[in-house]
């Protein structure tokens, strides 16, 4: 990689110098940084980390696959709830029939994916599904349709899901084998976790292999993810908002702190 000369900050982050001449752009991290989310999000996160001059390794804990799903009558609903961009990516051709429903999305990535698929975005939540559903209820939504992952269904008519008439799984995240040597390589490093389920699986894998949690730092997408990871880690960093951009920025800024 060729760039302008750089002057070092104490943290190792390089700032451009005014003098010309090609030099190699240094990296921020001397610790292993691992991305545990499934594809295609894994590649996207690694690319964002690379833009922040952080080398990262791919260690997905799950692989996403599409599910066959029944297409309901859009007339029975007054809104479409999307809790993950994967719902848009994996729903297939049937999704087009629902474009007349206004979308309420959890997170900017989900909203962007829905917008790119031709949907009108009514609202974007920056917390979790429960918070978004509460906001929808206050707005008068009462017959929502939810599309999401098999492992993250909303119970219609109960609790936060009181305004949801139907919740349909359109994709599933299946566990993939993780060799012990890959877990061992995390020692002294940072593991990026994007979901509570990934946090729980990493915890289970570490405990089953007999590896100490205290040697790994967790970078969590949200407080819910951090809570699912449990205790005993070297540290837990939590993104201020649940977006991949915010998580990567947190990791970059924290690694840069002297």
What's 9-51 look like in SS3?
Answer: CCCCCEEECCCCCCECCCCCCCCCEEECCCCCHHHHHHHHHHH
Tokens of 78: 């007054």
* Angle between helical axes of 244-256 and 41-51 (0-180°, round to 10): 40
Look at phi and psi of residue 169 and say left if phi exceeds 0, alpha if psi is from -120 to 50, else beta. Answer: beta
User: How far is residue 105's CA from residue 39's CA, in Å, rounded to a whole number?
Assistant: 20
User: Alpha helix (H) ranges present in the chain?
Assistant: 41-51, 85-90, 108-116, 129-138, 180-184, 196-209, 223-229, 244-256
60-85 residues labelled b (16+ CB within 10 A) or e (exposed): bbbebeeeebeebeeeebbbbbbbbb
Tokens of 243: 């977006």
Tens-of-pLDDT digits for all 258 residues of the chain?
Answer: 333 333 344 444 443 333 444 434 456 567 899 999 999 899 999 999 999 999 999 999 999 999 999 999 999 999 999 999 999 999 999 999 999 999 999 988 899 999 999 999 999 988 788 899 999 999 999 999 999 999 889 999 888 899 999 999 999 999 999 999 999 999 999 999 999 999 999 999 999 999 999 999 999 999 989 999 999 999 999 999 888 999 999 999 999 866
State the pTM of this model. Answer: 0.79
Q: Are strands 79-82 and 103-106 parallel, antiparallel or unpaired?
A: parallel
Strand order in the sheet with 121-125: 62-66, 164-175, 144-149, 79-82, 103-106, 121-125
User: How far is residue 81's CA from residue 91's CA, in Å, rounded to a whole number?
Assistant: 13
């Amino acid at each position: 990689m060729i760039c302008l000369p750089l002057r070092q900050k104490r943290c190792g982050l390089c700032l451009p110098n005014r003098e010309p001449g090609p030099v190699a752009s240094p990296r921020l991290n001397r610790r292993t940084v691992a991305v545990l989310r499934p594809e295609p999000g894994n590649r996207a996160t690694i690319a964002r980390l690379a833009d922040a001059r952080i080398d990262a390794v791919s260690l997905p804990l799950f692989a996403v696959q599409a599910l066959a799903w029944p297409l309901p009558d859009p007339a029975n609903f007054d809104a479409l709830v999307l809790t993950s961009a994967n719902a848009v990516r994996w729903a297939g051709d049937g999704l087009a029939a629902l474009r007349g429903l206004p979308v309420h999305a959890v997170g900017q990535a989900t909203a962007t994916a829905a917008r790119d698929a031709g949907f009108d975005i009514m609202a974007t939540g920056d917390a979790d599904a429960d918070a978004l559903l509460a906001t929808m209820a206050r707005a008068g939504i009462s017959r929502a349709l939810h599309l999401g992952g098999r492992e993250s269904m909303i119970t219609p008519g109960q609790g936060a899901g009181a305004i949801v008439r139907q919740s349909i799984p359109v994709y599933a995240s299946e566990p993939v084998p993780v060799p012990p040597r890959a877990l061992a390589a995390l020692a002294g490093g940072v593991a990026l976790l994007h979901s509570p389920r990934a946090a729980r699986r990493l915890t289970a894998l570490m405990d089953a292999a007999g590896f100490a949690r205290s040697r790994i730092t967790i970078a969590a997408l949200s407080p819910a993810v951090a809570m699912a990871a449990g205790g005993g880690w070297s540290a837990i960093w939590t993104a201020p908002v649940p977006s991949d951009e915010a998580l990567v920025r947190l990791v970059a800024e924290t690694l840069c702190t002297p």
